[in-house]
């Protein structure tokens, strides 16, 4: 069985240079056998469509509402456009003055679209990968409130001085008095309990 590797330039996707210096993301290999040279439907065993159910699935979905124009399709379209322009520049360098601006525009649109995907996925995942998580709505407000709660003590009323504490020492003394009274044993010797019961008359 013989096989031939024929990579297509459209299979090489583009990523912004700020993210990575790699551009080859995936490479598909097609295995060419003797059955590819025959026109019989039974050359691939049970038939072409039965042997490749994913092809039939893609064809069936092509006419559904789920295949409407979306950001994913826009990115795929821009990737194909970029690959086509780069292929034309390689085959015919004389077209560089004409195709270079188009390639620049396609790369800018791809970068903007991919950045939009990154920010959207970051919000969905709850990931904070900027300085203070500015991508999350209300994150700075929640962070400020949490820090204020951790570093601020509410006003304490001193049980002995009968006023609000104005210094750190008074707050510590008020806390000491409060917990000292809270965990002090109860003295029940001086307390008396009186039980009233109705008189029973014969």
- Give the three-state DSSP class for 164: strand
Helix/strand/coil (H, E, C) string of 59-120?
A: HHHCCCHHHCCCHHHHHHHHHHHHHHHHHHHHHCHHHHHHHHHHHHHHHHHHHHHHHHHHHH
Strand partners, 158: 163
pLDDT digit string, tens, across residues 151-161: 777 788 888 88
Q: What is the pLDDT of residue 35?
A: 53
Q: What is the pLDDT of residue 175?
A: 86
Enter the pTM of the model. 0.35
Annotated domain spans of the chain: 69-151, 153-183
The segments of the chain whose pLDDT lies below 50 read 1-3, 40-45, 48-49, 60-64, 67-68, 129, 190-197, 200-202
Q: What is the pLDDT of residue 64?
A: 46
Q: What is the pLDDT of residue 37?
A: 53
Q: Give the Cα separation of 35 and 44 in Å (integer).
A: 7
């Amino acid at each position: 069985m013989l096989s031939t590797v024929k990579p297509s330039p459209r299979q090489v996707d583009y990523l912004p240079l700020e993210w990575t210096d790699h551009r080859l993301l995936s490479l598909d290999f097609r295995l060419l056998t003797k059955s590819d040279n025959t026109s019989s439907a039974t050359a691939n065993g049970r038939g072409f469509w039965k042997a490749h159910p994913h092809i039939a699935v893609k064809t069936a979905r092509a006419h559904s509402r789920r295949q409407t124009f979306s950001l994913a399709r826009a990115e795929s379209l821009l990737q194909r456009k970029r690959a086509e322009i780069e292929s034309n520049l390689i085959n015919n360098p004389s077209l560089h003055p004409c195709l270079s601006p188009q390639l620049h525009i396609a790369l800018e649109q791809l970068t903007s679209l991919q950045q939009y995907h990154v920010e959207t996925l970051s919000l969905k995942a709850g990931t904070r990968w900027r300085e203070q998580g500015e991508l999350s709505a209300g994150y700075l407000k929640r962070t400020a409130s949490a820090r204020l709660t951790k570093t601020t003590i509410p006003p304490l009323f001193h049980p002995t001085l009968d006023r609000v504490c104005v210094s750190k020492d008074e707050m510590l003394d008020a806390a000491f008095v409060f917990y000292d009274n809270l965990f002090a044993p109860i003295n029940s010797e001086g307390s008396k309990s009186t039980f009233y019961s109705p008189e029973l008359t014969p």
